[in-house]
Structure 1
């Protein structure tokens, strides 16, 4: 249960972190994802357009997307049970999303129908593989805190509850509090940053941010200092992803740097979502933090080597091969 002041109490006599003891309560849990789903419209551009400019692009694409959807799909393709809750509209786009998700083999799929047009994102991909994204999120914004609390109430010890920044602050906080109070591990990926995340950090067992997000939240340009600041603000385990420089983690004052696999990036869209989904699945599946982060990073590197987001997520066979190589020490 949460202690007075909004933080969680640590069981009396506990000599390890509360989150670590939650991990050990079961060998195999579920990943519960509450997040947005929509359509990703991709356009490759030579550069970003200037103000008032019309710029021609090429290699257009259309696929299911959204941070919540991508993270849920990345997780389920590891073979760990995943339950995905997402708000969608009553339109043809929602039917297209539903058809794609039903093919993934989720342990549970709950599409919450909202009186809004289904969400979508425009992904502008540059020649070096970097991207900029503009999104419409009326369905995500309409998902209420009461609905989110109901989702969080489905969590049990051993589960990993995953949320992002697409829903409102109130809804995201309600999910984190409810899932945490029920003994689940909570993982928060606050992108996109459109509201103050500070009040939610005390309810986060794990927070995953990229370099830019870490600096925006904490005001610190040095990733290690930003990670320490995130933990000072309440997160128990901070992960800062650094693109080609890998990632770093801070856990109980211990800093760990993970070098990135050497690859030629084609498109970084979806890499962060792959990382979060695989990290959550590996923890729910019983892996320790070091193995979970390493496997998440390898999966994200695979995503970066091909275009798109949904289409670039590792499939089940690819992920099984990654695990086999990792377990063999390669």
Structure 2
């Protein structure tokens, strides 16, 4: 079983479903509202655990009802929360609008995630014991850098999802083994709008890159290797929230199990395809038997 540590955010997703997202200054009537546990860190942890990984979460929740719910949800999915801190004040929230085409827009309020600005005593040892460290950018950057550098010191494979998109310091990218941006994030990081050009440019800073392309699948590039495009299964999307995190969590499990990259990407795409056919982020994430069945079909 792959040992995965996730250093990242936990949020309660406050999700509104509408026929069409409002434009600036516009008011629309929604059809449904839900509260769904999320946050890119927690999402990746849950996705990896359901895909069959042995997962531990380093993060922070508030001392509110959302914090209790978030911790319970992680534990229910099989994630070890011994290193999930409880901070004074509110938990993080994400305010999400989902339209009838499955698209979404998101505003994140960090809450307790903002307190996670450094590694605590013992965190490096936890990271050192892992096969893979998953990182995102919804916690303060100093903690992300410290986590990546700790993993690098102990030869733990580091996987970074650069979201929310922002300029990344060289000291962080020097400690990253695999970067997994979507098309927008790849463009933000490089200024290149063509995914292949953007991915190739990123190889100057990291050894491997996977650009997720939504319904078009994913693009993999690595130093000294030919680019590889892996298609995604054709499905009707209901809600794409959390699909990228589902992909990364499943990909980490597949890579930790030693699957070749083409197979790992196809397996992760099967997991993401299942998730977009359901509403919610963590609530939509599939379990391993579902992924295996979709991958085999």
TM-score exceeds 0.5: yes
The structural deviation recorded for 1:102 is 1.8
Which of residues 244, 247, 256 is equivalent to 2:215? 244
The structural deviation recorded for 1:311 is 1.5
1:300 aligns to what? 272
> Do structure 1's residue 190 and structure 2's residue 162 form an aligned pair?
yes
Distance between the aligned counterparts of 1:125 and 1:285, measured in 2? 34
1:44 aligns to what? 17
Contact 1:153 1:179 in 2 (8 A): no
Identify unmatched segments of 5+ residues in structure 1: 1-27
Cα deviation code 1:223-270 (max 9, x no counterpart): 11111111112x111000111111100012320011121111111111
Kindly report which structure 2 residues correspond to 1:186-265, keeping only aligned pairs within 5 A, or say none: 186-194=158-166, 196-233=168-205, 235-253=206-224, 254-265=226-237
Distance between the aligned counterparts of 1:290 and 1:307, measured in 2? 28
In the alignment of these two chains, the number of paired residues is 296
Distance between the aligned counterparts of 1:216 and 1:198, measured in 2? 16
1:35 aligns to what? 8
Contact 1:43 1:123 in 2 (8 A): yes
The structural deviation recorded for 1:59 is 1.8
> Do structure 1's residue 114 and structure 2's residue 60 form an aligned pair?
no
Q: What secondary structure is seen at the aligned counterpart in 2 of 1:63?
A: strand
Contact 1:143 1:171 in 2 (8 A): yes
Identify unmatched segments of 5+ residues in structure 2: none
Change (3 A) 1:306 1:29: closer
Q: What secondary structure is seen at the aligned counterpart in 1 of 2:73?
A: helix
1:56 aligns to what? 29
Deviates more, 1:103-112 or 1:206-215: 103-112
Cα deviation code 1:116-175 (max 9, x no counterpart): 31001111111211111111003222212233x852442337610001010111110100
Contact 2:117 2:141 in 1 (8 A): no
Cα deviation code 1:31-86 (max 9, x no counterpart): 11011112111111233323333322112111111111111000001222111111
Distance between the aligned counterparts of 1:195 and 1:217, measured in 2? 6
Which of residues 246, 259, 264 is equivalent to 1:287? 259
1:273 aligns to what? 245
Change (3 A) 1:245 1:158: same
1:173 aligns to what? 145
Q: What secondary structure is seen at the aligned counterpart in 2 of 1:74?
A: helix
Distance between the aligned counterparts of 2:230 and 2:186, measured in 1? 17
Contact 1:190 1:197 in 2 (8 A): no
The structural deviation recorded for 1:197 is 5.0
The structural deviation recorded for 1:111 is 1.6
Q: What secondary structure is seen at the aligned counterpart in 1 of 2:269?
A: helix
The structural deviation recorded for 1:287 is 2.0
Change (3 A) 1:305 1:193: same
Kindly report which structure 2 residues correspond to 1:26-175, keeping only aligned pairs within 5 A, or say none: 28-107=1-80, 109-147=82-120, 150-156=122-128, 159-175=131-147
The structural deviation recorded for 1:209 is 0.5
Q: What secondary structure is seen at the aligned counterpart in 1 of 2:159?
A: strand
